[in-house]
Amino acid sequence: MTTQTAVATNKVTLTINGQAVTVEKGTLLIEAAKQAGVDVPHFCYHPKLKPDANCRMCLVEIEKAPKLQTSCNMPVAEGMVVHTDSPKVAEARAGVLEFILANHPLDCPICDKGGECHLQDEAHAYTPNYSRFQEPKRFFEKEYFGPLIDKEMTRCVQCLRCVRYCDEIVDSRALGSRDRGSLLQIGGLVNRELDCEFCGGCIQICPVGALTSRVAMYDYRPWQLKKIETICPHCADGCRLKVESRDNVALRITSDAGRGRNAGDLCAKGYFGFDVINRDDRLKKPLVRKARTLVETSWFEATALVAERFAAIKAQHGGGAIGGIISAHASNEDLYLFQKFMRLVMGSPHVDSTARYGHHNTIAALRDVVGHGRMTASYEDIDQAQAIVVIGADLTETNPIVGYRVKHAARNRGAALVTVGRYGANHGSFVSNLVNRATHALTTAPGQERAVVLGLIKAVVESGRVEPALAAASPAYVRRLSALAGRLAWADLEARAGLSRAAIEAAAAAYTGAERAVILFGRDVVRSSGAVDTIRLIADLAILAGKLTTPGCGVNPLCDEANEQGAVELGVAPEYLPGLIPVSDDAGRRRLAAAWKDEAPSGAGWTLMEMLDQARAGRLKALYLVGEDPLGDLPASAKVREALGNLELLVCQDAFRGPSAELAHVCLPAASFAEKEGSWTNHEGRVQKGKQALDAVGEAETDAAIFSEIARAMGYPLDYADPREILAEAVRVAPALATKGASVHPGTVDPATLAGYLSSGFERDVERRFALGPAAKASAEHPYRLTLIRSLFRSGALTGRSAALAKAPHQGTLLVHPDDAAALGVAGGATVRLRSAQGSAEVMVRISPKARPGQVLFPEHYAEAVRDLAPIDVDPATKVPIFREASVAIETVSQPMSRVREMS
């Protein structure tokens, strides 16, 4: 550490334009100049990318150097004397600009970049207002990078920022430079149309108008846009983005380089998926069911009706006959107020959120270990990790921004990357896959992630790499786990995992050998059966290796939805009051009652799945759905239709009219994420505030405002001046958030909780989690294992409505391994029928080694029929429904036309 400090204090002093500047050693001259307040014009340089020095715009004069030097790749040196504005520099700059402008078209008036274009700015600053270029202008054949990205090569300054971004940040390498010399152009490396992750990064990083978005193309001039920052609602990465709008229509999304937890990077959903806000089919007015159809009504009538019906049911059957489910996309303010509304106004303990689909497993597993369900290592720890273990998470599809960080650590910083999961490497695909970067790819069959984790634990224990301090402090824990790990036979583990002992040991050594090591785990663990056991084992692995509480290390759960953390922590769950206080905790209840000046109903409430069961059984009479659409989310085997159809009152409050709304008695139009102020807690545990970017469409209102309105109508006012007041109260009544500093910082491990776990808590289910359990039997009738995976381009009802995202290629296809495709005799593009015990569905095949032999992968939210193939299973302890795997048979329906021609 001392050497690091020495390096950190190693300063260099140089002179820039006569001004002495002291900067860190190794600083690039262009950055040193920036620190001194001197802007050196440039095109190709970007702080995110390795310097390429190709534009030559940043040439400066360094005394004693024989010629001008590019400041973007020149590290500072002690005593350097630099001039950025000498006549020689000015001449060189003007020369470079003249070259760049020589062939540049005069289409600024219609260029979407006009007004925020680096070339315009530099031309304005450094060139004469006439051109000496009198030769015919160069032109390129017009090409599009597919339906989402426009390429206008005549505007390109060939700085290759897009190519470098695509490679260095996204690791997608979809772009390259094609042809050479004056005909050099940016192109897809293989195909003219891009087949990539469509993160929009190439557009964002283009200094000119060469790459622009085809969504809302020519619809605005940049200076007309109102730009408001908020938080992306599409996953729990917590990206800060700007909603840019004109006349209350969102026209584009941007994110400033370096801003937010995403450092300005976005993914397809964040960048292109915004068009859902503007859709015409948004719910704009309240609807009430009259004579079997939903008809528009006024807020006054709708609120009165809802309040009256709820009150009537409450009076007749008690608050316990009413349930409420809210989406974990909602803001903290909406979530907090919803549970308060349900508990106090409705008098019901039945309040839950869509965090029930996954995050509750994490909470159940980790709350007794670390005190919460947040990441215990920050994003920066991921950046700096020497080893990263990713278990059951396809980050590129589920959490792309965390994925960029993992890829950065692996490819640019040489971190060991262990992937544990069901996906195979698929080199050749432009959608980068973490497995492609893995130094240790522990690819296993679905559901066998746990066997691999057990193997890793066994390897750590047997190689004597258990943290010595732990063995001294918690001998019982270490002894017990070591004994249990010892009881497992390598042969069984190898058979279960489908991996060699050597491979598992090598990965374990890479993990334990790193000083800074982070484990991430995601949906294939969290949303699968036995999740709690697997997650506990993951925690055990980190504890045994001494990598849970060591700085730079940690265990990081990943969430699918934007605010699953907030939903659970703010008490939107029947088992927890705000602050992760169990409803059975009397002291906690008293504290809450004092703050609320009223008592939350006691006793266990029903979870999401239980509410549906109780509705079917007739005990739940009314259900209030906020942003959640169980009919859209759950397979037919969950019998949601029967449940919702049995209700006396179904209120659906959402931005759109989804499948469940068709059974609703009242629909209430809700504001979208961009239309409200609020905060969201990402999976790191950062509470990030977003501003209201747009006025809500039509008569839509924010969820919190609607709750207040109904509460007032029910004679129990819950009034707040603004969302900030709600958040302030939430933090006040949720001591767990406050004491752990968790309202603003990522989770740290609670020492008392951990001590309790290590002394006796670990015993809970320890035998069960260390047992391999019965092996899954291969079914002759349904030989393939189908996993419903999450797609980068459509992760739920909201993104499913995006017309822009729907344009990305190769969506909604069944991934089949090449060997299986050969065995089945199907070609890519063939249509096959999947048959499970639950039903059948027809899908198109795409051949990809991402699916391992014997497995097929299909993205969720693309075909109801495929979703309905899965049986549903509910975790007995956490009540998390498991419905993303099925055993299927595959039959060919038809071959693609090309194959048909070939065969005839």
Cα-based distances in Å from 369 to 538, 548, 568, 669: 11, 10, 17, 41
- Indicate whether 98 belongs to the interface with another protein (CB under 8 A): yes
Query: Of these, 12, 49, 55, 652, which contacts another protein (CB under 8 A)?
Result: 55
Nearer to another protein, 57 or 638 (CB): 57
Q: What is the DSSP string of 165-210?
A: HHHHTS----EEEES-GGG-EEEESS-SS--S---SHHHHH-SSSS
Cα-based distances in Å from 73 to 47, 54, 59, 208, 852: 11, 10, 10, 22, 44
Q: Could you tell me if 83 and 60 are in contact, meaning their C-beta atoms sit under 8 angstroms apart?
A: yes
- Indicate whether 87 belongs to the interface with another protein (CB under 8 A): no
With tokens 């999304």, the residue in question is 253
- Indicate whether 67 belongs to the interface with another protein (CB under 8 A): yes
CB atoms closer than 10 angstroms to residue 441: 21
Query: Of these, 59, 651, 713, 815, which contacts another protein (CB under 8 A)?
Result: 59
- Indicate whether 177 belongs to the interface with another protein (CB under 8 A): yes
Site residues for another protein, 126-165, by CB under 8 A, read 132-136, 138, 157-158, 160
Tokens of 331: 């803001």
- Indicate whether 84 belongs to the interface with another protein (CB under 8 A): no
Query: Of these, 24, 34, 48, 52, which contacts another protein (CB under 8 A)?
Result: 52
- Indicate whether 102 belongs to the interface with another protein (CB under 8 A): yes
- Indicate whether 47 belongs to the interface with another protein (CB under 8 A): no
Nearer to another protein, 136 or 876 (CB): 136
- Indicate whether 100 belongs to the interface with another protein (CB under 8 A): yes
Q: State in angstroms the smallest separation of the CB of 192 from another protein.
A: 18
| Residue among 433, 431, 437 at smallest CA distance from 413 | 437
Cα-based distances in Å from 18 to 15, 36, 85: 6, 11, 11
Q: State in angstroms the smallest separation of the CB of 71 from another protein.
A: 11
Q: State in angstroms the smallest separation of the CB of 61 from another protein.
A: 12
Instruction: Give me the sign of the Cα torsion angle 120, 121, 122, 126.
Output: positive
- Indicate whether 716 belongs to the interface with another protein (CB under 8 A): no
Q: Could you tell me if 341 and 322 are in contact, meaning their C-beta atoms sit under 8 angstroms apart?
A: no
Question: Torsion over CA of 477, 483, 486 and 489, rounded to 10 degrees?
Answer: -110
Q: State in angstroms the smallest separation of the CB of 209 from another protein.
A: 17
| Residue among 861, 851, 854 at smallest CA distance from 814 | 851
Task: Find the part of the chain contacting another protein (CB under 8 A) among 1-9, 79-87, 174-182, 785-793.
Answer: 174-182
Cα–Cα distance measured from residue 263 to residue 381, given in angstroms and rounded to the nearest whole number: 15
Query: Of these, 176, 735, 761, 829, which contacts another protein (CB under 8 A)?
Result: 176
- Indicate whether 74 belongs to the interface with another protein (CB under 8 A): yes
- Indicate whether 753 belongs to the interface with another protein (CB under 8 A): no
Cα-based distances in Å from 592 to 733, 742, 743: 6, 19, 18
Query: Of these, 12, 30, 36, 68, which contacts another protein (CB under 8 A)?
Result: 68
- Indicate whether 119 belongs to the interface with another protein (CB under 8 A): no
Q: State in angstroms the smallest separation of the CB of 407 from another protein.
A: 18
Query: Of these, 16, 30, 33, 57, which contacts another protein (CB under 8 A)?
Result: 57
Query: Of these, 17, 34, 75, 445, which contacts another protein (CB under 8 A)?
Result: 75
Nearer to another protein, 99 or 720 (CB): 99
Query: Of these, 17, 34, 95, 368, which contacts another protein (CB under 8 A)?
Result: 95
Q: State in angstroms the smallest separation of the CB of 137 from another protein.
A: 10
Binding-residue total with another protein (CB under 8 A) = 40
Cα–Cα distance measured from residue 285 to residue 558, given in angstroms and rounded to the nearest whole number: 36
Query: For residue 476, which phi and psi values (nearest 5 degrees)?
Result: -65, -45
Q: State in angstroms the smallest separation of the CB of 540 from another protein.
A: 36
Site residues for another protein, 267-286, by CB under 8 A, read none
Cα–Cα distance measured from residue 257 to residue 260, given in angstroms and rounded to the nearest whole number: 9
- Indicate whether 182 belongs to the interface with another protein (CB under 8 A): yes
- Give the long-range contacts of residues 158-161, CB within 8 A, separation 24 or more: 158/54, 158/55, 158/184, 158/185, 158/186, 159/43, 159/44, 159/52, 159/54, 159/55, 159/207, 160/44, 160/52, 160/54, 160/186, 161/43, 161/44, 161/46, 161/49, 161/202, 161/205, 161/206, 161/207
- Indicate whether 425 belongs to the interface with another protein (CB under 8 A): no
Nearer to another protein, 192 or 768 (CB): 192
Q: State in angstroms the smallest separation of the CB of 418 from another protein.
A: 24
Nearer to another protein, 206 or 535 (CB): 206
Q: State in angstroms the smallest separation of the CB of 150 from another protein.
A: 21
Specify which residues 857 forms β-bridges with. Answer: 787, 815
- Indicate whether 186 belongs to the interface with another protein (CB under 8 A): no
Cα–Cα distance measured from residue 829 to residue 846, given in angstroms and rounded to the nearest whole number: 6
Q: State in angstroms the smallest separation of the CB of 181 from another protein.
A: 4
Binding positions for another protein, rule: CB under 8 A: 51-57, 59, 67-68, 70, 73-75, 91-92, 95-96, 98-100, 102-103, 132-136, 138, 157-158, 160, 176-177, 179-184
